[in-house]
Structure 1
């Protein structure tokens, strides 16, 4: 008993603290032992320096990783995560948030990487997300010069339309990523189309040799939509001559996209009319909105009246009441040869009316009623056109 007690007391402190769960083991650094990079002195300061082979070994788990850069305010984390869930990626992935405006996409398959990377620009919550290849040299101030580009192999030998042949040809240009559908099923033999990963800072391969037995021929390479890269500011999308960082061009000013919307309390019709007038640059629009406003806009010598209506006017209410008291002043005349004709008397201020008493009526009275009816219908049609025009122009 005493011997067992002494044996228990001889256990080291580190052994007592040995983690028992995988989660704790993941956080514990004791198992590193002596297998780590020792620091050296460089310019009177300590430093850690890795060889290219060591860097490649450490970066292997992240070979399909991408970096996203938002052009503007980054959306909420929930929106970003939901957007990637909606993509339905085939493999395991992790989305991690870096410095403000950046996200890290840890992907596990080349298929998911090609799908996201070759798209170029995505939109999440209305904000554009630019995609870059992650490399061990990643920096927030320097955009990666490694980009995916589609290349053509015109008149490639037909026997090379297979994965091994296409991979061999594309490997000369860059790192092969994928081929398009027409190349995969050999439905377009005039050229092969392959997406490759190239470095814009390195020289491009324009052609290469293909040997078929004793015969040798030059194979041409055609690049599709290669983006520009500025060595001055280390950003994609423009050349050094177009860069305003070196003073060659004035810095573009941002457009105040929501300037009109920021004016609190302003009527929506006023803003839309201002935008409409600025876009056409024809004449002027009166933007003072009143309950019964008429806005005139001259268009090539033609004047259009836009009327703002809110319910029925007083005159319309009186006319409606007057018609209800007198009855409808316009009735359909249904004249048939076998039926009795309807007597129509001249309408004079509503004092006389139409009757069905079998008396004959003159053609002159019918024409007069018809003219009045046509005039009334014209008024109604014009009012309807004014209302439709009002809806379309947001007056």
Structure 2
């Protein structure tokens, strides 16, 4: 079920399965994360300030020597906190990129590549975000931009807002942790 404020309600009759869904971390639908909370009577439906969000990234041009949990986790830690990889990455079924779910923070700058020294050679690993959430650099949260809110208030005074162009386009396994600088296996 959905309401007109952007909230969705899921009825999951099995209590054990419901608890697993809530506790198992980020759940994504069409590459967009769902922030889940357990319903309670008289729950206050408001959108909490999201300072961290899980997103899927692709590590492109990854040399075969770096296809390990520790190397992929170390590279992904340059973007955010690595959470897990997808099944194809774990099983090395598609070697054109490694797909990693990372937790990013609104006040953290984004990088488009990570440089790694592998056997004395500098390799540049391209970072591609599958989805970038709308983020506010002013207050450090996801889901809005403070200047957009100011523009909406100016509409109340009979002025048309000038909105900034959006720079985002909608387009496992636990255990990966941020690591020290990467050293390739010998």
> TM-score w.r.t. structure 2 length?
0.60
Unaligned runs of 5+ in 2: 38-45, 157-186
* CA positional deviation for 1:166: 1.0
Aligned ranges for residues 176-325 of structure 1 at < 5 Å?
Answer: 176-230=82-136, 236-243=142-149, 247-249=153-155
Aligned equivalent of 1:120:
33
Q: Distance in 1 between matches of 2:95 and 2:125?
A: 15
Task: Summarize deviations over 1:66-121 as a string: whole Å, max 9, x none.
Answer: xxxx947897xxx867375444728xxxxxxxxxxxxxx5x3xxxx1134798623
Aligned ranges for residues 61-76 of structure 1 at < 5 Å?
Answer: 71=5
Any conservation in 1 of the 2:59–2:127 contact (CA below 8 Å)? Answer: yes
* CA positional deviation for 1:242: 3.1
Q: Distance in 2 between matches of 1:245 and 1:86?
A: 43
Q: Distance in 1 between matches of 2:151 and 2:16?
A: 38
Higher normalized helix content (fraction of residues): 1
Task: Summarize deviations over 1:208-254 as a string: whole Å, max 9, x none.
Answer: 2211212112222112211012356776333344336762556xxxx
Q: Distance in 1 between matches of 2:102 and 2:26?
A: 10
In structure 2, the CA distance between the partners of 1:161 and 1:72, relative to structure 1 (3 Å rule), is closer
In structure 2, the CA distance between the partners of 1:131 and 1:230, relative to structure 1 (3 Å rule), is farther
Aligned ranges for residues 371-386 of structure 1 at < 5 Å?
Answer: none
* CA positional deviation for 1:170: 1.1
Any conservation in 2 of the 1:175–1:198 contact (CA below 8 Å)? Answer: yes
* Aligned-CA RMSD value: 3.7
Q: Distance in 2 between matches of 1:73 and 1:176?
A: 27
Unaligned runs of 5+ in 1: 1-69, 91-104, 122-129, 133-139, 251-395
> TM-score w.r.t. structure 1 length?
0.31
Aligned equivalent of 2:20:
89
State the number of aligned residues: 144
Relative CO higher for 1 or 2, CA cutoff 8 Å, sep ≥ 6? 2
